[in-house]
Structure 1
Amino acid sequence: MSQKSLEEQIQQLDEQLSSSVEHQERETKFATQANERFARNISCFEKYFPDIAKAISEYELRDDFCIHVTSTGYGNFVPKNHKAPIYSDDPIAQVTKQVEHSIQHPTFSATDYTSCPVNDDDERVHIRYMGALTKAFREIQSQQQERISKLPENFPTALIFGIGLGYHIELLLEKTNFDYCFLIEPDFEVFFASLFCTDWFSIIEKVDNNGGALFFQLGADKDNFIKDLETLADDIGAFSVVRSFCYQHTPLPEIIELIQQWSMQYFRFQYGHGFFNDAITGMSHTVHLVEKNTPILASPTQNRVDLSTPIFIVGNGPSLDEAEEFIKENANKAIIFAAGTAITSLYNKGIQCDFHVLVERPYSNYKIFGDILPAEEYKKTNLIGLNTLYPDNTDRYKWAGIAGKGNEAGTFLLEVMSQTLNNKGIPLMPYCNPVVANTALSFAMFAGFKNIYLFGIDNGNLMTGEHHSKDSIYRNNLEDENEDGLVCIRMDGKYLPANFGGQVETNDLFMAAHSQLEKLIGHYPYRSVYNIGNGAKLKGAHPVRAEELIPLPTSRDIDHQIEFLKSDYFEQLNLTDFDDTLLGVGAFNEICDHVLGIAQEPVGTIKEASENLMRQARYVYSLRNTALHHLHHMIKGALLYYHCPMLSLLYTYTDEQFTLESYEKVNVLWQGYVTEMKDYYQHNYRTKCDLGKE
């Protein structure tokens, strides 16, 4: 060995020793700072997010939990079941580069507000103003102004997928101020590690001081992410997510899966808000139904129903035909619920249903059902509907009962009346919309039935082309204008997996219905739900081919079970005279005037306009769960359908003057909408829906 080689080795050992000493010093310094940071973070979470603070205090670390200190003095972490750390040796440089790239090349969620159909023949307030809104956005878009291509200093919302150790969040919030910031992290342990590395106390206090809102979705996975986001959006308003900057921090498969879910389910946050005409007619119908002394769903004080009795829920999907013989042969051994127009398909097959399920408000639906079935057939069956139902429907049946639908102005009034007259509230069936099949299954599950069969609940068209049962009231060939029958809702190129391979073609409405059915099945574990035929597959239900069904055993007397179900689960309020002052005409006038007062304030910048919208929204949402809760629902839908596009407009174009001028045109429409709501409410709070009357 040469002398030079020995000297080189000594120098190398000396450098390693120095490096080791320096690293120990870095670790000691980091440990001191990390422990102080952790303590301050915990204190901050206890103040602002007590549930998260509790979860942190109860979290059990794995034995090999370790935060590694890089040569640059920052913490790094290897997540469970991973071999590599989250960051390189210089996390801040790496994250700074990522943040800058995301700012310069952002991904935004956006909605096309020019595609809403315009119906100039529909005189309802909401439809007229939505048509005017669509025309306004078409005009704005036709001018082809330059759109923003990088993240501005102010933006409505950030959806940050992956918290990591939090370094990017500090940097991002230094560059842009968000009104709403959603932090989504599947791995709680990674978030726990971030408490040692990031000054969460500084981030949280900064957002709070700026009047923003910060939401953590920790432990998010494909089963709860969208559902939890929907709950948040319902609490604070869908405008909180419709115009979002979407940031992916880590490339982990579970993060990518959540982003894919967001992309596929984004449509849920754009529509389905309810609207003024729906709200006021739903409330009016509730008042009329109560005055007719219609039995209302209640929590049973006794239950004589044999809950093992099989339940047949029959929709009008094409797979109904596959099970026709089984239903006929076993009809006297089960309770049969016909969902909507499926009652005519069963009638044409010679099958008598026990309950007909309806949900629609319009007079036109009431008229259609009066035309499609002989009057004497309705007198053979019972009706279950929601409290929004057109009230005259109940007169057709030998018995009718209603259930409260959540998120409705009329339902809150129903709750107040029940508390006043019976000293108890009313139960709300979960996931009971948007279509009648949802209501039927929700009632069966709420009642406690354990064996439920779904026939014709296909949520779309079969790939062989069928869209409804051959015995339905709909045309077989939708393009043949000479064929008798109604034209059904068309599918629009979306797809769901089918029970036994392949797919069904669907649309947004049935996608939502399908999702609600899956949530409902998950909400009631330990029930047997059989999904018959090759319609859309339902998570939690057992797919069964019609030919594989075996005859049912003889049940207890079905007629007795039906009577028990009606008498044990429904009760009358016995209200002699409804007090119209409960409807709060004066209070609604004040609410509309307050919203108008804010909307009419002059704005000089995009930020001022955005803050103006936020003040209106937060005022309306402050009415939730108060004595004016029904009036919150009266205006909420209109506000969402206008504020979501108005907010999106403010953060779409680079030209601020053009943006503000366009915003002002839409704002004038919004003020007109609020003014008409105010005038209409005080004269029409008892008016039944007349849509479809000549």
Structure 2
Amino acid sequence: MTEQQINPFIHKDSELEQLEKKYSDIFIKSLEDLHEITSLQQVMKEGLKDRFNRNMEAFRKYIPDVAKTFEKYTPKTNMDFFCLKNEIPNLIFTDSNDILYKTADPFELTHNQISNIINNSNINQLRYQVEYDPYGQLHFKYNNRLVEIEQSVIRDKTVTPKQIESLPNCVMLGIGLGYPLADLYNQVEIANLIIVEPNTDIFYASLQAFEWAPFLDYIFENKLGIHLMLGQNSDQFFIDLERFYERHGRFLSGTWLGFIHYSNKKVKEFISLFDKHYRSINAAMGFTDDHLFGASHACYAVLNEKNFVLNTPLKEEYKNKPVFIIGSGPSLDHDIPFIRKYQDKAVIIACGTAIDALYHAGIKPDFYANTERTPQIKQALSTISDKEFFDDIVLLTGDVCHPYTLNEFKHTAIFGKPDEPFYPYFAMNFPEFRKVQHIQLMNPLVGNMGLSGAVYFGFNNLYLFGLDNGKKTGTNSMHSEFTTLYKERGVGDTGGNYTITKTVPANFGGTCETGYLFDLSRRNMDFVLQMEKLGRPDLVCHNCSDGALLEQAQPVHSEDLNNIFDKLPDIDKKELFTYITQEKTSKISLSKELITKAFNNEIFTQTCNKIKSIILKKPDNRVDYIKNMETVSEVLYYLKTDPSTYFYGASLEGSIQTFFMQIARMLYHSRDEKACIALADKGMDVIADFLDEIPNLFSHMPFIYLGEHQKIYKDGKVGIDMPNCKAPNLPQMQILVKDDGYRDPLSKFIKKHE
């Protein structure tokens, strides 16, 4: 997936500061005439009061929360309205004598800004490519078919919003006095407008200057969407934005126009947040097959009496113990001597293949962190010759973990994943599951599981090693020299997920080369630390890795920590192990009959039929098409609000939103609306086929395990041929570790401190 525009809020020659320079001489001359037009000021101010009252009445009718906030609002800053001979209200901040619109004619200024944007900008759109399906999944079958349809027509890359005359989603940073709205809607029909105004004083001023009442009448009479984000701080801002897309459709975040009306320090801060986090809104939605596998894996864990992490607080004596979270990045080799020396003074979490590196370096982990739900993890673990090595290592993972991986460990600490359908669904319906600790952002890589696992376990004193999320510029290796999986057994670490696509600042200066998943991993690490620090001021993360910089972690070289760790006592690892396995984790008692009844194929099929009845209406214009997809999105959201139907909405949502992103792209393929509608109609027929076929897979719940699910399909095909989508061949299951004759000389683990 790629996005065409890197800086979606930067529109050349459209910033107010640039446009205002063209009118500065006129403005200065007009200000000199102010003393001649003082009588106009009183007339203007009477008009402001009348307009404010009309606007309040409209907001009480349409958006009562806004009316309630601003009816008796008192501005925090000293500001006043003034006008020139044209009688257009402008705003001056009297403490600084700064003027909002530095021009004699704010209408002309905003008109030119909007004209520049809609005549010279492209719509930001995500682009999907045909993806290789390693397991044989219906989502890939249908999504790849949609990609083929979208790419069957040459795309007009020059088309502008003005030429198309509609937008599914527009994000406006800074409302000013509201003047851009009239020009925007006079030229482009917008299905959904998101207005972000961090300064409530400015919005209050707009209630006096702009005719909100007729604007809101137009929006609601035409059933268009508007979402006001007023006065949020940076933390609230993105949560609110995420909620909007969750309710009305994440597909909207894949086809949109963004622009800045006016800029200040706070608006620039929000632009930075957009750049960092906007992509996460649709980056990891999951898909239906994946959710069904994950739920089945979780049910396996329950039925086979695996231990889940409890949401009781971690004992005080462990909260501030050092925790070494270790990945197998190339910088790990530098820190191996330090980790060896102090391994008894810290809780050690091996992330993924780091367990291979630590085994060969003589370091014993307390936890093995696993993110994946794939069956190949067992193959990676099988490369360690000493099977007793795992006896007292606790598997730290999410509830989606594959049964093959679960069975490799005698002890587990399983978290509930709130971004997967299973955990919220079972927590809503079974009291036993409400005591399970949730985890956030344990994806996309094992380092995320290690960090998030430590955070949500309750540890406060974290140290990162080998979590490079790429490689330092100027170096070659992607993994530690101690990992036999890559160094001796021929598993590749180039191309695919390891493809380098960008450079980012490095932890100890310089730059780090990274790729899409590594960069997402880095951002998720920062985000989980940032969010958890808000309620946990004692949470500290030290980054000893010589890879990508984490803004929320403190860079520190391991050699600078010797004085601290020399003074620390050893941790009683046996006592810690007993506490983890007998107090902090527990089995969940639910019967097979109860679990099986939780997945009702009749309700799931009815849900699919309901969605199909909506999407096959096929409107004859772009905006109504977008509204139709919003209706489906709102149905899925509504299902998620009811404990009895939550799973059905949540398990379909990721695939449906991904498919809808492709439909939205088709709708804005060119200026020829009829041709775009015809293309979208073909896409909707494919989605209808998906909704007809997916209930067959669901009927096998909750016993669909990834890889083994291929037994459901006959004739070596992924499902069956459908009217608008042929079934591809089932892929062969991947063999991660091939028997190439290599024999590990370390048949028995040897702990080392030197």
Structure 1 residue 238 corresponds to structure 2 residue 250: yes
| Deviation (angstroms), 1:222 | 6.7
- Please state how far the C-alpha of 1:359 moved relative to its aligned partner: 2.1
Q: Does 1:435 align with 2:445?
A: yes
Name the residue aligned to 2:481: 470
Cα separation, partners in 2 of 1:574 and 1:253, compared to 1, 3 Å: closer
Matched, 1:139 2:152: yes
Q: 2: CA distance between counterparts of 1:36 and 1:163?
A: 20
User: Are residue 449 (structure 1) and residue 464 (structure 2) matched?
Assistant: no
Residue 692 of structure 2 corresponds to residue 675 of structure 1: yes
| Segment of structure 1 superposing worse, 346-355 or 295-304 | 295-304
Q: Structure 2 CA distance, aligned partners of 1:371 and 1:493?
A: 31
Cα distance change on mapping 1:326 and 1:264 into 2, 3 Å: closer
Give the letter aligned to residue 465 of structure 1: N
Q: Which residue of 2 aligns with 1:102?
A: 117
Residue 126 of structure 1: aligned partner = 139
Provide the C-alpha distance between the structure 1 equivalents of 2:309 and 2:424, rounded to a whole number of angstroms. Answer: 14
Q: 1:379 aligns with which of 386, 391, 394?
A: 391
Q: 1:512 — aligned with what?
A: 520
Change (3 A) 1:70 1:17: closer
Q: Which residue of 2 aligns with 1:499?
A: 507
| Residues 148, 540 of structure 1: alpha-carbon distance in 2 compared, 3 angstrom cutoff | closer
Residue 655 of structure 1 pairs with residue 672 of structure 2: yes
**1:484 aligned onto 2:484:** no
Give 1:111's match in structure 2, choosing from 122, 126, 135.
126
Match of 2:322 in 1: 310
Q: Are residues 1:206 and 2:221 paired?
A: no
Question: How far, CA to CA, are the matches of 1:156 and 1:281 in structure 2?
Answer: 33
Say whether the 8 Å CA contact 2:122–2:161 is kept in structure 1: no
Given candidates 605, 626, 632, the residue that maps to 2:621 is 605
- 1:541 equivalent to 2:563? Answer no
Q: In 2 relative to 1, CA 390–345 (structure 1 residues): closer, same or farther, beyond 3 Å?
A: same
Deviations 1:254-310 (A, max 9, x none): 545644654565543453210011111011111111111222222217836421211
Identity level (%): 23
SS of residue in 2 equivalent to 1:279? helix
Which residue in 2 is equivalent to 1:687? 704
Out of 564-573 and 387-396, give the one that drifted further: 564-573
Equivalenced residue count is 669
- CA distance in 2 between counterparts of 1:639 and 1:222 reads 30
In structure 2, the CA distance between the partners of 1:100 and 1:245, relative to structure 1 (3 Å rule), is same
**TM-score under structure 2 normalisation?**
0.82
Deviations 1:199-245 (A, max 9, x none): 33443343233222222233467776556534432343221221112
Offset, 1:352: 0.6
Match of 1:284 among 296, 311, 315: 296
Deviation of the 1:196 alpha carbon: 1.7
For residues 648 and 223 of structure 2, the distance between their equivalents in structure 1, rounded to whole angstroms, comes to 26
| Cα offset, 1:520, TM superposition | 1.5
**Contact 1:305–1:564 at 8 Å: present in 2 too?**
no
1:250 to 262, 265, 274: 262
Q: Which aligned pairs between 1:402-441 and structure 2 lie closer than 5 A?
A: 402-416=414-428, 418-419=430-431, 421=432, 424=434, 426-441=436-451
**Shift of residue 644, structure 1, vs aligned partner:** 0.6
The alpha-carbon deviation at position 633 of structure 1 amounts to 1.7
**Which one-letter code corresponds to 1:91 in the other structure?**
P
- Deviation (angstroms), 1:17: 13
Match of 1:4 in 2: none
The CA distance in 2 between the partners of 1:151 and 1:373, in whole Å, is 65
2:176 pairs with 1:164: yes
CA distance in 2, matches of 1:680, 1:378: 35
SS in structure 2 of the partner of residue 150 of structure 1: helix
RMSD of aligned Cα (Å): 3.0
1:448 shift after superposition = 2.7
Give the 3 Å change call, closer, same or farther, for CA 57–372 of structure 1 in structure 2: farther
Give 1:271's aligned residue: 283
Alignment of 1:587 onto 2:599: no
**Could you tell me how far apart the structure 1 residues matched to 2:257 and 2:178 are?**
17
Query: Distance in 1 between the 2:303 and 2:662 partners?
Result: 39
The answer (yes or no) to whether the contact 2:123–2:161 under 8 Å persists in 1 is no
Mapped to 2, the partners of 1:628 and 1:357 lie a distance apart of: 32
Shift of 1:104: 2.4
Closer/same/farther in 2, CA of residues 222 and 401 from structure 1, 3 Å limit: closer
Separation in 2, partners of 1:51, 1:469: 56
- More off after superposition, 203-212 vs 357-366: 203-212
Match of 2:578 among 541, 563, 570: 563
Aligned-residue offset at 1:186: 3.8
In structure 2, list runs of 5 or more residues that go unmatched: 1-29, 709-732, 736-754
Q: Is the contact made by 2:253 and 2:282 (CA closer than 8 Å) also made in structure 1?
A: no
